[in-house]
Amino acid sequence: MQNIRNWFVQNQSAGLKRNPSGSPYARNTKFTVPSKETESVSHYTSVDCLQFSPNCIPSISFVNCPFKKSGANVIDSLFIRPLQIGPLVTRHNLVLAPLAGISDYPFRQLCREYGADLTFTEMVSIDGLLYQNQATYRLLNIRSHEHPIGFQFFGSEPEYFRKVIPQVERFRPDLIDLNFGCPVRKVVGKGAGAALLRNLRQLYRIVEATVRATALPVTAKIRIGWDAENMVAVEAAQAVEAAGAVAITVHGRTRAQGYSGRADWEAIAAVKQAVHIPVIGNGDVLDVDSARAMFRTTGVDGIMLARGALGRPWIFRQILHALQNGEVLPEPDFEQRMEVLEHHYRLMLEEYDEFVALSRMKKHFVWYTHGLPYTARLRDRIFRAQSFSEVQEIFARYRQTIRQHNRPSTRLKQSAEV
């Protein structure tokens, strides 16, 4: 008997995903299946049939299997597995997205503590580095314990990448990621970011120049097209692969969509079908259910979270725990959120002086209070706060008001001081 997880990982990387018919590959093969969380030790049983859909989404039909009812958990646990990005092998496949102005050391570290394995810097301008812009260079200062981490770059000139990429190796990233998705006018106006989805020849040249300039693994992050009339995800992904990149992230929106509308996971699944390199799915993974659904419907090798982690860095732990153990962890209560927020601020102080830490923290305060009652006034006060101790006082008062409100005998007036 074989361990089902090992079998799945080995055979998937050996190219089983190319099964065109979707017919069962392993009918009547006996597998050992980890029962819930006891994967490493004793509780193994066997299943009689492991089936794959054409894009390698596994399903198991249980015959004589005592864990029939927990079948979904067995499948879910297969989704969490290492990502092989060239020579780099991650512990698992939950990834924190590059986020301009947000994915600095404190936020990356916080998400890593909650289980994100691979993280990225925000997008960094190749032109800025070429012209020795010190603020741009500062974005590359990572800590020695921040691994694995990818540096993400944007630009439009292959020659600039060729010159600059060797210079950034001394900052010790684990991989170099290329941004072909940024929708911002200032960026696309210069032919960078998502603009390269309209110029696949240039996109190819940028990947090729970068691959030639470094021994580090090179990856790319694309959107699925410029707009609904120009959906080029498959062609772009094939160009990225042909030019030598070893993994690709696909954000399931077009440039025209910006960050609105729903991410098109079908388009992500089509990319997964079309290339041999690992595909990381991105867009609208906001909780455990959507994480599971992204894996199930696209067959991707990993998932990347962006907005779902804002004010909720614990989402990585929730997804890991739910898919590996079949158990959904509760949302942290108010006190626990405050602890995370304070820890986040302490990490900020390791990176910035107090003034900068507080101003960068303000948007996070808003995200941490998402979904709580009476936050309009709270946020207003927080934005005017001059120190972190003032913020703590505001939260303490807010906590008291909430407690009072929750007591059945106490009615909170609409005009209450929060």
Ligand X SMILES: Cc1cc2nc3c(=O)[nH]c(=O)nc-3n(C[C@H](O)[C@H](O)[C@H](O)COP(=O)(O)O)c2cc1C
Query: Which residues form the catalytic set?
Result: 182
Binding-site member from 4, 60, 97, 347 for ligand X (CB under 6 A): 97
Residue 229 in contact with residue 215, Cβ under 8 Å? no
> Strand ranges (DSSP E) for 289-361?
302-305
13-21, 273-281, 302-310, 339-347 -> range binding ligand X (CB under 6 A): 302-310
Spatial separation of the C-alpha atoms in residues 237 and 75, rounded to whole Å: 27
Task: Return the number of the residue (158 or 252) whose C-beta is nearest ligand X.
Answer: 252
Q: Count the residues in the chain.
A: 418
Question: What angle separates helix 388-406 from helix 375-384, to the nearest 10 degrees?
Answer: 170
Task: Return the number of the residue (228 or 416) whose C-beta is nearest ligand X.
Answer: 228
Q: How many residues bind ligand X (CB under 6 A)?
A: 22
61-69, 93-101, 353-361, 391-399 -> range binding ligand X (CB under 6 A): 93-101
Binding-site member from 34, 86, 98, 115 for ligand X (CB under 6 A): 98
In angstroms, the Cα distances linking 356 to 230, 233, 345, 361 are 41, 39, 11, 8
Taking the complex as a whole, the smallest distance from the CB of residue 101 to ligand X amounts, in Å, to 6
Spatial separation of the C-alpha atoms in residues 213 and 236, rounded to whole Å: 21
Binding-site member from 15, 27, 259, 384 for ligand X (CB under 6 A): 259
Two structure tokens written together for 137: 């260079």
245-264: b or e for each residue (b if 16 or more CB lie within 10 Å)? bbbbbbbbbbbbbeeeeebb
Binding-site member from 34, 58, 308, 311 for ligand X (CB under 6 A): 308
Binding-site member from 282, 290, 369, 401 for ligand X (CB under 6 A): 282
User: Is beta strand 49-52 parallel, antiparallel or unpaired with respect to 44-47?
Assistant: unpaired
Binding-site member from 164, 206, 216, 305 for ligand X (CB under 6 A): 305
Residue 167 in contact with residue 111, Cβ under 8 Å? no
Task: Return the number of the residue (97 or 129) whose C-beta is nearest ligand X.
Answer: 97
29-37, 98-106, 162-170, 200-208 -> range binding ligand X (CB under 6 A): 98-106
Binding-site member from 49, 100, 274, 349 for ligand X (CB under 6 A): 100
Spatial separation of the C-alpha atoms in residues 125 and 131, rounded to whole Å: 10
Binding-site member from 213, 285, 347, 394 for ligand X (CB under 6 A): 285
- Rule CB under 6 A: say whether 251 interacts with ligand X: yes
Task: Return the number of the residue (65 or 248) whose C-beta is nearest ligand X.
Answer: 248
- Rule CB under 6 A: say whether 280 interacts with ligand X: no
Task: Return the number of the residue (162 or 251) whose C-beta is nearest ligand X.
Answer: 251
- Residues 140 to 199 in contact with ligand X, rule: CB under 6 A: 152, 179, 181-182
- Residues 210 to 239 in contact with ligand X, rule: CB under 6 A: 221
Binding-site member from 47, 74, 85, 99 for ligand X (CB under 6 A): 99
Task: Return the number of the residue (50 or 264) whose C-beta is nearest ligand X.
Answer: 264
Nearest Cα to Cα of residue 94 among 77, 73, 119: 119
Task: Return the number of the residue (131 or 259) whose C-beta is nearest ligand X.
Answer: 259
Q: How far is CA 259 from the centre of its chain?
A: 15
- What is the x/- site pattern for ligand X, positions 313-352, by CB under 6 A? ----------------------------------------
Task: Return the number of the residue (74 or 102) whose C-beta is nearest ligand X.
Answer: 102
Binding-site member from 57, 78, 123, 341 for ligand X (CB under 6 A): 123
In angstroms, the Cα distances linking 96 to 108, 289, 305, 321, 335 are 7, 18, 5, 17, 25
Taking the complex as a whole, the smallest distance from the CB of residue 188 to ligand X amounts, in Å, to 13
What does the DSSP 8-state code read for residue 82?
Answer: -
- Rule CB under 6 A: say whether 5 interacts with ligand X: no
In one-letter notation, the amino acid at residue 94 is L
280: CB partners within 8 A, 6+ apart? 83, 93, 95, 247, 248, 249, 250, 300, 301, 302, 303, 304
Half-sphere exposure of 119 (CA within 13 A, CB side): 28
Quickly count: other Cβ atoms within 10 Å of residue 66's Cβ.
11
- Rule CB under 6 A: say whether 284 interacts with ligand X: yes
Q: Which residues bind ligand X (CB under 6 A)?
A: 97-100, 102, 122-123, 152, 179, 181-182, 221, 251, 259, 282-285, 305-308
